[in-house]
Structure 1
Amino acid sequence: MGYLHKVSDLSALEPGQKPGEWLPYEAGFDKTPHVFCANRAYDACNWLLDPEEQAQGPYCFACQFNRTIPDLNDPKNLERWRKIEIAKHRLFHALIRLRLPLISRREDPENGLAFDFLDDGPDGSSPVMTGHDNGLITLAVREADDDQREHMRVEMGEYYRTLLGHFRHEVGHYYWNVLIRDGGRLESCRAVFGDDRIDYQKALEAHYANPPSDSWRETHVSVYAASHPWEDFAETWAHYLHIVSTLETAWLYGIAIAPRTPESAQYSSPALSADPYLELGFDEIMNAWLPLSMAVNSLNRSMGLQDFYPFVLTPAIRHKLAFIHEVIRETQAKL
């Protein structure tokens, strides 16, 4: 099996005439010879390159955005990197399905998208901070260790902390640059999320010195979103990706929700009839998400696990999600 990013799907393969060549069974490919990404040698990627892509280098569409990977001489780092790549490739699947622009650092050295996966210094010195800087997303590889990530989740008072969540949040900053700052939407975005010209460092310092009261729950999807409009946008962007990506899975499995309760009509939803990434309207997405998230939360509780989506989407938060939905739909319409 191999993933074909141009159709966003896995395909069965048969060996080609030359060693290392594979012929996809996916319709429309006429069994054109493909090769696996070079990172398959590390069991870190299952994406394929067509002949045109092979002429540009040995890395697939997703892996070419890597600028720095962990030092694989450290035996722990190979497993960490594999986990990181699973999350990053799932992110790229969503961004491709949403038909969002993806400009690499090679194409735009100053603002293009790139990833640095970095380890802390010896004995924990010089700890790496996960973050974003003009398209460069840095991820601390310790986040791939479940115990470290859970420790940080509890220490930061977060409901949710995953590698995929980090990627979805940080790429939200990248798309704020691309679709808001450079897309002529600054004023409309400020009307929804607030004035981003507020000093960012001072806002973060004030946020951690005096965390907001529970009033943030009415207007922000997380407490961190209340720290600054940039973080509010990135957190809301991440949640939009959480929602549409999960709904895509439900759509492909034909999942319908019909609980046996007196309020069943209120909490029911038929199987989705259209692609959440491209076709559903915002109200349709929200109407599908509420019963699905309630059902899966209940399933998790039956297994003694945390809620899979422990968030409440108030009208104010839904308004912010709707803004992101419209920006994405406008971007798709221009293709």
Structure 2
Amino acid sequence: MRSGTASQAAQWTTWVPVVAAVALVLGWGRVLPVSAVTVVGLCLVGAVLAAVHHAEVVAHRVGEPFGSLVLAVAVTVIEVGLIVTLMAGGGDKASTYARDTVFAAVMITCNGIVGLSLLVAALRNRTAVFNAEGSGGALATVCTLATMTLVLPTFTTGRPGPQFTGAQLAFAAVASLCLYGLFVAVQTGRHRDYFLPVVRDGQDSGPDSHAPPPGVRQTWWSVALLFVALVAVVGDAKLVSPAIEGGVESAGLPKSVVGVVIALMVLMPETLAAVRAARRDRMQTSLNLAYGSAIASIGLTIPAIALASVWLPGSLILGEDATHMVLLALTAVVSALTVVPGRATLLQGGVHLLIFAAFVFLSFSP
């Protein structure tokens, strides 16, 4: 019975990404009616679930923290392409798109994903345990990148408004890329053990450690389908974004809401993968996914946008307003208090989810 179920799941995760990609090709560049938007939305959900499955196959083959890195980098690279595409056709009205998307990604990962994962892990095991060394280093990287790219532009004086000069933007881009490369080197090399799941006393390392890893052919097949699924996720999110923009405009909501909603859809694979890891008492994997996605979102997006700004029309506004800077500072302080002990309870999960709820609420009602 189990083999039959596994076979059905494998077939389902094979054809759903292809169908979602076909929907993307057929709908790209067209104004979709409500029925078509509904179909694309269903394809988007299916592609997210398929992406999580194939990411777990790859992760089981290569092990942690490489598995978390694969999913975080893959989603971010495709997300960067989406941001550049939207900014290229948006003109001045898209000048804040990169800022809104990156900040939303930081709030979603550091508060939404972390809070939900802590809640799930604590409900099952009373406390969630993880490596303070690795998680603390990842958090420090997130805070440094976010402050340097989203806060400093508000206070520089080289250009009027929350903008970098060309030289400042180049420095921020190179520094972000270098810090991201250093983090990956530490995570996968010298201090890889800091990013491995913690094994509790009297427990084994989890069911995944006993299952045989997938073969090379199956792994590469999952890598290919993971890429197709992630392209479909980001592309289908782009297709449904006009409907979201129309709804936001008709409701009289701020334009930044669109970036929040799109970021939520794009980060669904990481969210589901992190929650599933937390349910298996692998909280470190959940934190690897959350903080790794935030680091990749800033460390890869800012250099790409800086390079694209040479030919993109309009200005590039990166500096945040006072409300978002307060939320970022609160996130940094609370996250540090969560990570330092190396264990957390329901309380910490609830605090992070409350901060995330405040971000979402203030996005709709600034």
TM (norm. structure 2) is 0.23
The structure with the greater share of residues assigned to strand is 1
TM (norm. structure 1) is 0.24
The structure with the greater share of residues assigned to helix is 2
